[in-house]
Amino acid sequence: MKKILVSGAAGFIGYHLVSYLLEKTDYDIVCLDRYDTSGNVNRLASYLSDDFKKRIKFVYHDLKAPINEFTAKLIGEVEHVIHLAASSHVDRSIEDPLSFVMDNVVGTTNLLIWAKSQGGMRRIYKEPQNPGDKASGEFIWAGKFINFSTDEVFGPAEIGHNHKEDEAHKPSNPYSGSKSGQEAMGYSFFVTYHLPVITTHTMNNFGEMQHPEKLLPKTMRSVIEGKEMPIFAELQDGKLVGVGSRFWIHSRNTASAVLFLLEKGVAGESYNIIGFDELTNLEIAQKVANIIGKPLIPKFVDFHATRPGHDRRYSLDGTKMREMGWKPEVNFEDSLKNTVDWTLKHPEWI
């Protein structure tokens, strides 16, 4: 029976990924999570049909601790691992950097150690080219380990430049520094143990059931309540110089990219997953307000003064994935409208 482990499955992207895999594949899914700040099992509980419930299993574990034999038995042997579990908020990483090292570097290492162990990721026997030479046969990994990183490991991108997968890391804050360390550990397990690790860099994800601290839910709440919406910007002598910009992608499109890489990704490689559109934070906040039909009241906040380590522009080059044949399934405008409309009908998520 084919089985996938998804760490951080109760998180926002985890929900979209698990629901997408249930729809598009016949895999059973083990959801590994500690259900803390970002994890909320109600995301999946609200989605699962009776048929899907038969294919999903929840296992509680905090990856800061090694996966012991009892938890390993609950998980069982799996074909693929998709590692989403992480601490991901820049402000919190500035306040408590060590916790991000523990979650993102130590936690990833514990998962990698389990994945390469007996009873972790499944291996299959590859017959030798010469049938008479049985000694030349070998056991190879049956699946892949997708290690989710972020665009932020590369640091800020100058106007006109999009970071490629193989560029040097220049993390600007403890969060991105910890994700760079997570990447390094994943690649080291590929080199040392031949574990089939694939690294992904994603940009700003949005969608239904996102954590209220993120830009889109915060914007919706501010617009609905008629309150000021803080927008990080660069100010000089109190005057607006520029607003941070990002590429935006709905998490269902991210999920489709992951499934694509499970099929076509190459172990040891890195892949940038990006959407179609680059927008400033002000532009996307205004689009949200337009959909709601109420005014946006922006309050520009100098990120240099209030958020050390904040990068004004992030940008990735999506050529590699595009040339392999992947592109987002749903365009940005439709994704954004669907997200806002759904959230207005489910205000408990803002």
pLDDT in tens, 246-278: 889 999 999 999 999 999 999 999 999 998 778
User: Hey, is 60 helix, strand or coil?
Assistant: strand
Predicted pLDDT of residue 349: 87
Active site residue 329: no
Token pair, residue 122, equals 């499944």
Residue among 269, 281, 146, 288 at smallest CA distance from 204? 281
Question: Is the pLDDT assigned to residue 233 strictly greater than 90?
Answer: no
pLDDT in tens, 104-163: 999 999 999 999 998 999 999 887 777 666 566 688 999 999 999 999 999 999 888 999
Check 152, 183, 277, 311 and give the catalytic one. Answer: 152
> Which comes out higher in pLDDT, residue 8 or 89?
8
Question: Is 90 a residue whose pLDDT tops 90?
Answer: no
CA 56/CA 32 separation, integer angstroms: 11
pLDDT per residue over 181-217, tens digit each? Answer: 999 999 999 999 999 999 999 988 999 999 888 899 9
**Per-residue model confidence (pLDDT) at position 54:** 87
Provide φ and ψ at 141, rounded to 5°: -70, 140
Q: Give the pLDDT confidence score for residue 334 in this predicted structure.
A: 94
| Residue 167 CB-half CA count within 13 A | 19
CA distance 41 to 137: 43
Catalytic site residue from 20, 27, 175, 271: 175
The answer to whether 271 is a known catalytic residue is no
- The residue from 28, 79, 103, 151 that is catalytic is 151
Q: Report whether 193 contacts 267 (CB < 8 A).
A: no
Q: What pLDDT does residue 188 have? A: 98
Weakest-pLDDT range from 40-54, 68-82, 189-203, 260-274: 40-54
Per-residue confidence (pLDDT) for residue 57, from 0 to 100: 93
- Residue type for 146, please? I
Q: For the chain, how many residues are written? A: 350
pLDDT at 304 over 90: no
Average pLDDT of span 319-336: 94
Q: pLDDT tens digits for 149-169?
A: 999 999 999 888 999 999 999
Q: Give percent of the chain with pLDDT exceeding 90.
A: 69
Write down the pLDDT at residue 45: 72
pLDDT at 39 over 80: no
Q: Torsion over CA of 280, 286, 290 and 295, rounded to 10 degrees?
A: 180
At residue 130, the pLDDT reads 73
Residue 183's closest CA among 207, 167, 162? Answer: 167
Residues 282, 298 contacting (CB under 8 angstroms): yes
pLDDT at 241 (0 to 100): 62
End-to-end CA distance of the chain: 39
Catalytic annotation present for 166: no
Does the pLDDT value for residue 308 go beyond 80?
A: no
Domains of the chain: 3-349 (3.40.50.720)
